[in-house]
Amino acid sequence: MELRQLRYFVVVAEELHFSRAAARLNMSQPPLSQQIKALEADIGATLFHRTKRSVALTAAGRDLYEQLGPWLAGLGDIVGRARRIAKGEEGQLSVACSFSTTQALLPQIIRNFRDSYPKITLRLREMQIEQQLESLARGLVDIGIMRLPVDESHLMTAPLYDEALMVALPLHHPLAARKHLSLIDLKDEVFLKASRNSAALFESIQSICRRAGFEATVTDVSSNLNTAVGLVGVGMGIALVPESMRWAKPSQIVYRPLRDSPRSTVGAVWRRGDAPPAIALFVDVANKTAVASQAKR
């Protein structure tokens, strides 16, 4: 049984006339009659009552037509969806991100991507960089938005934007009255460490402060940057955070830029080799969004 035979059957069932059906199918009548007979043989049932003057569906033919009509009508959509998925224009894409990256360019990237590819469903999952790398390796997510560099041979990366550190201070801290600070201004403060990799995955707080000429007093409070900022608000210390965190501003916190801050690059990361086509589309939108954002500065 072939798909074309089923299509032929539906046209004959609609016309109830072999000559008209053959004309619709752009073929001659004898081959059409042969294909219908072959279909009946494969099914093991007569589908049409034929006389010299008329053609009518049998009970089996009528039931087959009722079942096949909607199925064949939707077949084009099914095939079209498969084709769009293969091109990356439809389907699902799982994107991992950390809390700090959700405060920067990512929301606009998501908006632009959904506007460009509304048939691709994006699923966002918030996780730390170690979890992102593990999830990428296991195929649990398609792409991660994280701080570079990433030294994994099985992963591909594309830089998107870079940013500096700011210092989060309690609202009534003496340094909060100043518009700009330098790292050396923080030499007597207690730094709240927000992750194993410290200042939001820039480099260690100790290294940053050592280069500025002092040894930092560091308290390891949480692996969650948002928690560390919350503890700043109750006066437990200060925290170095990415400048994108200025958009998440608790009422008891102020952010101040650092003149001598290091910079960190945020990029897209995905598996090498077996990446879904939608990843290339996502990275393209992300790059264009980043370029447009830089142009506005």
The domain limits of the chain are 3-86, 96-297
Digitized pLDDT (tens) for each residue of the chain, 297 residues in all: 788 888 898 899 888 999 999 999 999 999 999 999 999 999 999 999 988 888 999 999 898 988 887 888 777 777 777 777 666 667 789 999 987 788 778 999 999 999 999 988 899 999 888 899 999 998 899 999 998 888 888 999 999 998 898 999 999 999 999 999 999 999 999 998 865 444 444 567 888 899 999 999 988 877 677 788 888 989 999 999 888 887 776 788 999 999 999 888 899 999 998 667 889 899 999 999 999 987 776
Q: What are phi and psi of 34, to 5 degrees?
A: -65, -40
Q: What are phi and psi of 234, to 5 degrees?
A: -100, 15
Interior angle at CA 68, CA 62 and CA 73, nearest 5: 130
Q: How far is CA 296 from CA 19, 126, 237, 266, in A?
A: 67, 28, 35, 18
96-297, which class in CATH?
Answer: alpha beta
With tokens 């069932």, the residue in question is: 13
Other Cβ atoms less than 10 A from the Cβ of 71: the count is 11
What is the sign, positive or negative, of the torsion defined by CA atoms of 276, 280, 282, 283? positive
SS3 100: helix
How many CA atoms lie within 13 Å of 5's alpha carbon, on the beta-carbon side? 15
* Rounded-to-integer distance, Cα 297 and Cα 293, Å: 7
Domain 3-86 has CATH 1.10.10.10: yes
51 contacts: CB under 8 Å, gap ≥ 6: none
Entry pTM: 0.65
Residue type (1 letter), 154 = H
Strands 48-50 and 55-57: antiparallel
Please give the structure tokens belonging to residue 175: 């340094």
39-65 CB burial, b ≥16 within 10 A, e <16: bbeeeeeebbeeeeeebebeeebeebb
